[in-house]
Amino acid sequence: MTAIAGEGARWRDDTRHKAWLAAQAEGLFRFFAPHSIDPTGGFAALDDFGLPMPRERERQLHSTTRMIHCFSIAHLMGRPGAMDLIDHGMKALRDHHRDAKNGGYFWSFDADGPRVRDKRAYGHGFVLLAASSAKAAGHPGADALLEDIVDVLDRRFWEAKHGASAEEFREDWTAIDDYRGQNANMHLTEALMAAYEATGEREFLNKATSIAELILHRNAAAADWRVPEHYHSDWTVDAAYSGNVMFRPYGYTPGHALEWSRLVMQLHALSKGAVDWAPGAAANLFRQAVRQGWDGKNGGLYYTLEYDGAARVRDRLWWPMCEGMAAAYVIGRHDDDPFFEEWYRRIVTFADAHFIDHANGGWRPALDDDLAPMQGIFVGKGDIYHALQACLIPLYPATKGIVAAVKAAKE
C-alpha cells in the first residue's frame, strides 16, 4: 500500500491519506504489542519479524518509558490490552529502574539487576513523559510516579541559573563531567509540555520555555538555524565534542532540528502565542535541516553533518524521517507556504518506499548510502515511539501534544 491521495487536496485534509496514516499506526500497535513484553521485566527489542531478540537483554530507561507513553496513547484510543502494557512498564520502572537507596532511575537493567547505574537526564526526561502520559490514560500509579520524578528533576538535574538541565550523574549523584547536551534537554522540553497538559501546572511550561529559549532562540539562531548538540557546563558550544554515536554524535543532527521545529510550535500553541519567536524559528529550523540534510541524489536525510554543512554520517535513519514528517505537518498547519506540504509529501513518500516494512511490519532502522537496508547503530526494528507519533500527529489538530490531542478527541 502506498501513501497516495488526491493531487488537488492537501494530504493533511485528504480522508484517504488519513486512512493510510491510521492504518500505519494500527500496524505499529500490532507489531509491537504481542511480543514486546519480557516476563522477566521491561520490554524486549524486536527483530525484523517482530520477535524478541535473544541477544538483547539490557533494558534501557528510555525504551521502558517510551512504551508506557505509546501504549497510553493506545489506551486512550480504545485499544484492548493497552493498559496491560502500561502496567508492565510501570512495574519495570518501580522494580528495576528505580534506585530505592539514592533516588532516581538507573539507565538500564538486565536479568542480574541494575546494569548501567548512571542517572541520565535523557532517561529521566522520558520518565516524566511516561508519568504524564500514564496520568492522562488514567493509570492508578501515575500520580506517585509523577511526584517522584518531578522531585528528582528539580533537586538533582535542574540548573536554575541556566534555565536548563544538567546531563548525568553517578549512582550516588556525584557529577560525572561538565558536559551539557541539547538532546536530553530537547526531550525534557517535550516531557515538560506533556506534564503541563496533564496537570495544568504552569511551572512545567515555564521550564520548557526556558530550555527552548536557551537552545533555539540563543544558540541555534546564532548558528544559522542549525542546532548545536554539545556544550560546556556554562552552555557555551563545545564544537570539538564527539561522544556516543547514538545519543551524542559529532556535528549537527538534522533530525533534531526537525524535532525541535515541531516541539517549538507546540510550545507556541500552549503559551497562547506568548513565545512569539517560535513560528519563525520553526520554519527556519525546518528549511535549514532539509536544505543541508536531504540527499538531493538518492533522497533521505543524512544522520549527521559536519559543522560546515557537509554530510558526515551518510546513513539514513528512520527517526529523522519520522520527525520530518510530523514537523512538516505541524508547521504546515500554521504556515500556508506550499513548501511544507511539498516536503510532507516527499518525506512520507520516501518513508513509505524505503523505511516502512510492508511485508514484516515496523520501520527499518537504517539505510546505507545506496538506500539498502542495514544494521548499524540500531539493530532489529526501531522502537515504536518515533514512527507512531509520525503517523498519529497528522490525524489531530496541531495545537496540543499527541497524548492531549488524542484524549481531547476521545472526550
pLDDT one-digit tens code per residue, 237-272: 999 999 888 999 999 999 999 999 999 999 999 999
Residue 1: which pLDDT band, with cuts at 50, 70 and 90? very low
Between strands 108-110 and 59-60, the pairing is antiparallel
Q: What are the pLDDT digits (tens) for 89-116?
A: 999 999 999 999 999 999 999 989 999 9
Average pLDDT, the chain: 95
**Residue range 44-75, pLDDT digits in tens:** 999 999 999 875 578 999 999 999 999 999 99
| Alpha-helix runs per DSSP H in 46-104 | 61-76, 82-92
Whether the per-residue pLDDT at 356 is higher than 90: the answer is yes
Residue tagged active-site, from 17, 62, 139, 256: 256
117-139: average pLDDT: 98
State pTM to two decimals. Answer: 0.96
Give residue 2's pLDDT.
47
pLDDT band of residue 4 (cuts 50, 70, 90) is very low
pLDDT, residue 62, reads 97
Mean pLDDT confidence for 335-342: 96
Question: If phi over 0 gives left and psi between -120 and 50 gives alpha, with beta otherwise, what is residue 99?
Answer: beta
Residue 7 banded pLDDT, cuts 50, 70, 90: low
Which residue, 158, 160, 288, is CA-closest to 216?
A: 288
Q: How confident is the model at residue 5 (pLDDT cuts 50, 70, 90)?
A: very low
Does pLDDT of 285 surpass 90?
A: yes
Residue 70, pLDDT score: 98
| Whether pLDDT at 9 is above 90 | no
- Yes or no: say if 167 and 175 are a contact pair by the CB < 8 Å rule: no
The ranges assigned to domains in the chain are 11-410
- The pLDDT-based confidence of 12 (bands split at 50, 70, 90) is confident
Measured distance CA(168)–CA(274) in Å, rounded = 31
What separation in angstroms does the CA of 65 have from each of 62, 385, 400? 5, 10, 20
pLDDT of residue 328: 98
What kind of architecture, by CATH, is found in domain 11-410? Alpha/alpha barrel (1.50)
Q: Which of 39-43, 315-319, 381-385 has the highest mean pLDDT?
A: 315-319
232 among known catalytic residues: no
Section 311-338 average pLDDT: 97
Let me know how long the chain is. Answer: 411
- Estimate the share of the chain in helix, then strand, then coil, as percent rounded to the nearest 5: 50, 10, 40
256 is catalytic: yes
Phi-psi region of 332 (alpha: psi -120 to 50; beta: other; left: phi over 0): alpha
User: Is the predicted pLDDT of residue 363 greater than 90, yes or no?
Assistant: yes
Q: What is the mean pLDDT of residues 180-192?
A: 98
DSSP of 144-191 = HHHHHHHHHIIIIIEETTTTEE--EE-TTS-B--S-EEHHHHHHHHHH
- Classify residue 201 by its DSSP letter: -
**Percentage of the chain with pLDDT > 70?**
98
**Catalytic one among 62, 69, 88, 386?**
386
